[in-house]
Amino acid sequence: SQQGEEDPQALSIQEGENATMNCSYKTSINNLQWYRQNSGRGLVHLILIRSNEREKHSGRLRVTLDTSKKSSSLLITASRAADTASYFCAPGSGNTGKLIFGQGTTLQVKP
């Protein structure tokens, strides 16, 4: 398993704006997952994109994956104050099943 690196570390936007955060990884993957963590809570699974997929949507979330650049992005459209949270990516590879997390992107959406 490998750790993803999220960028930027912190992001502050106004409600209604779009938020984009990026994830980079080092070696080939089978899939990549995005998670959200509200302060003081566990992680909530947002979306999984497989290595043979380039884009995936779920509600206001859009995830892209570029395996040639070893990077993924998470776009949250029309952000809401409730989207304020930390967001983590988790590259998946190998058979251990372990998820290793980076520092995450802390998103603040101002009302």
Partner 1 sequence: GAVVSQHPSWVICKSGTSVKIECRSLDFQATTMFWYRQFPKQSLMLMATSNEGSKATYEQGVEKDKFLINHASLTLSTLTVTSAHPEDSSFYICSARSDRGYGYTFGSGTRLTVV
User: Where do contacts with partner 1 occur on this chain (CB under 8 A)?
Assistant: 33, 35, 40-45, 48, 88, 96-104
Give whichever of 97 and 111 is closer to partner 1, judged by the CB atom. 97
Give whichever of 18 and 57 is closer to partner 1, judged by the CB atom. 57
C-alpha 27/C-alpha 110 separation (Å) is: 36
Give whichever of 41 and 54 is closer to partner 1, judged by the CB atom. 41
- Going from the C-alpha of 3 to that of each of 36, 79, 91, 106, the distances in angstroms are 16, 27, 7, 17
Cβ at position 96, least distance to partner 1 in Å: 7
Cβ at position 42, least distance to partner 1 in Å: 4
- CA-wise closest residue to 73 among 2, 10, 8, 3: 8
Cβ at position 47, least distance to partner 1 in Å: 11
